[in-house]
A = this chain, B = another copy of it.
Amino acid sequence: MTVRVMGYRGGTRRVPGVAFRSHAPPAATPELSTVSAPSRVAAADEGIGADELALATRNHGMPLEAMRAEVTPPGLHYVLVHYDIPWISPDDPWPVSVHGLVRHPLNLDIEQLRAMPSVTHRVTLECAGNGRARLAPRPVSQPWLVEAVGTADWTGVPLRDVLAEAGVLPAAAEVVFTGADHGVERGTEQDFQRSLPLADALRPEVLLAYAMNGAPLPPQHGSPLRLVAPGWYGMAQVKWLRDIHVVDRPFAGYQQAAAYRMRQDPHDPGEPVTRMAPRALLVPPGFPDFMSRVRVVRPGPVRLEGRAWSGTAPITSVELSTDGLASWTAAALGPEPEQPWTWRAWHADWVATPGTHVLAARATDAHGRGQPLEQPWNLGGFCNNAVQRVTVVCVES
C-alpha cells in the first residue's frame, strides 16, 4: 500500500459556514482523491465547521456525570467510528484469518472463538484525539472536548492464546489487525488497519473480545469481534476485526504511518501515538445551564468526585484546585482497581461560597507522569491530557 501524507494547509479559510459547500466534489469524472480535503488546522477565529459537526453528531463522548459508575452504562461509553458502522448479520459466521509468519495459519470463526477459554477485563478506553477541540490552532477532525472516554467489561480470548496455537515464527516483528470498516481518508481508500509490536500483542491482557458488559458487542463497538489492548488509546482497539497478520517489519499502513503520529508539521515523521497519558476528570458538580453548560451550586459543602487513569502505570495521586489552578490539594483516592486497566475513583470535599470558581483536577501515575496546564500542540491534536477546567457559579438559593 502506498501511504500518502496529503498536503497540509494552514488556517487561511476565515469563513467556514455550516452549509455543505466547502468540500463539494467536482461535477464530472471525479477521481477518488477528490472526495478528501487536505488535513488542516482552523483559523484562530474559526468556529466548528460542517464537516466537524457531521462527525460530532454521529460520534459521541461520555456525559461526565456517567463517571459516577465504575462501568459505563450501555450507550454512554464514547464512540468513534472512522467510516460507517459495518452492518453484520447475527448469522454471519465471521471468519477470522490468522496468517503470515506463523507455523499453522488458522481460519477461525466467531463460534470457535466463543468456545475457547475466555477472560474478562475491566478496561478504560480513551480516544487519542480527546481534547483536540481545545487546542489553538485547532486541528480539523473529530472535535472532541474532553468526554471521549469510557470503561467496560470486555470478554474474549487472550490474543496470545490464539497466536500460540498458530505458532509465531522467530522473524515476526508486528501483528497487523484489519477491521471491516471501509472508507477514504485523505485520499487513501482503506479498511481500518493498525498494528501492535509483537511484544505488546503477546501481553496477557490483550483480548479478541466478543462481549461488552456481559452482552454481545453492540454494532458501534465492533460486533461481532474486536481487539482490546488495555492501556492503548482507542485507535489500537481495532473493531469488526476480520484479519490478523503476523509480519516481519513495522507496519506502514495509513493509520500507523500517516495518521496517529505526533507531528509539528506534515514533513515531520513524528512519534507514534501509543498509550494513554494520565488524566483525571471531574464530574461537574451541581446543575448546568442548558446552553453554556456552566455549573450552578448552592453555598455549603459540595462533594467533588471523578475518575483518573493512565495507560502506562497505576494512578498514585489526584490533586484538586478550586481556585483556578492557583493552589492544589490532594484528593482522596478510592480503592485501587482490581485490574490496572480500570480508572480509579477519587473525591474531595469543598465548601462553596458565593461567587465564580474554576475547579480542576490533575492525576499523576506511578511513573511520575502528570498533566500539563497548557497542552503542547501537535498537528493531529493527539494525546492532549491538559487539565480540565470546570466553571462553577455559586449562588444563594
Contact = CB atoms under 8 A, between A and B. Distances in A.
Q: Which of A28, A46, A184, A289 has the most CB of B within 10 A?
A: A289
B54 A356 contact: no
Contact of A182 (B15, B46, B218, B287): B287
Interface string A292-306: 111010000000000
Q: Is the interface of A mostly helix, strand, loop or mixed?
A: loop
Nearest to A259: B290
Given A28-B356, A58-B63, A65-B85, A184 B287 contact: yes
Interface string A45-61: 11111011111111111
A134 B57 CA distance: 13
A95 interface: no
A47 B18 contact: yes
A302 to B, nearest CB: 15
A354 interface: yes
Interface stretch (A71-79, A200-208, A239-247, A309-317): A71-79
B54 A57 contact: no
B288 A184 contact: yes
A20 B145 CA distance: 11
Interface string A340-381: 000000000000001110000000000000000000000000
A115 interface: no
Contacts of A138: 18
A185 interface: yes
A393 interface: yes
A284 B58 CA distance: 13
Given A26-B356, A58-B60, A147-B57, A395 B18 contact: no
Nearest to A62: B58
Residue with the greatest number of chain B CB neighbours at <10 A, chosen from A83, A136, A292, A296: A292
B34 A219 contact: no
Contacts of A65: 84-85, 87
Nearest to A146: B57
Question: How many copies of this chain are found per oligomer?
Answer: 2
Given A84-B65, A355-B28, A143 B292 contact: no
A220 to B, nearest CB: 6
A393 B291 contact: no
B184 A290 contact: yes
A32 interface: yes
Interface in A171-224: 182-186, 189, 218-221
A370 B131 CA distance: 42
A120 interface: no
A19 interface: yes
A367 to B, nearest CB: 30
Contacts of A288: 83-84, 183-184
Nearest to A290: B185
Contacts of A28: 355-356
Given A18-B133, A18-B143, A35-B393, 16 more contacts: A17-B45, A18-B48, A36-B292, A46-B47, A47-B49, A53-B133, A57-B144, A58-B63, A73-B218, A76-B218, A76-B219, A76-B220, A83-B290, A184-B290, A185-B290, A186-B291
The 7 lowest CB-CB distance pairs between A and B, nearest first, are A47-B47, A60-B60, A75-B75, A48-B48, A23-B292, A56-B56, A185-B290
17 contacts: A16-B47, A18-B138, A19-B134, A19-B136, A20-B391, A23-B291, A25-B393, A47-B49, A53-B145, A57-B143, A57-B145, A60-B60, A65-B84, A66-B219, A69-B87, A84-B284, A141-B291
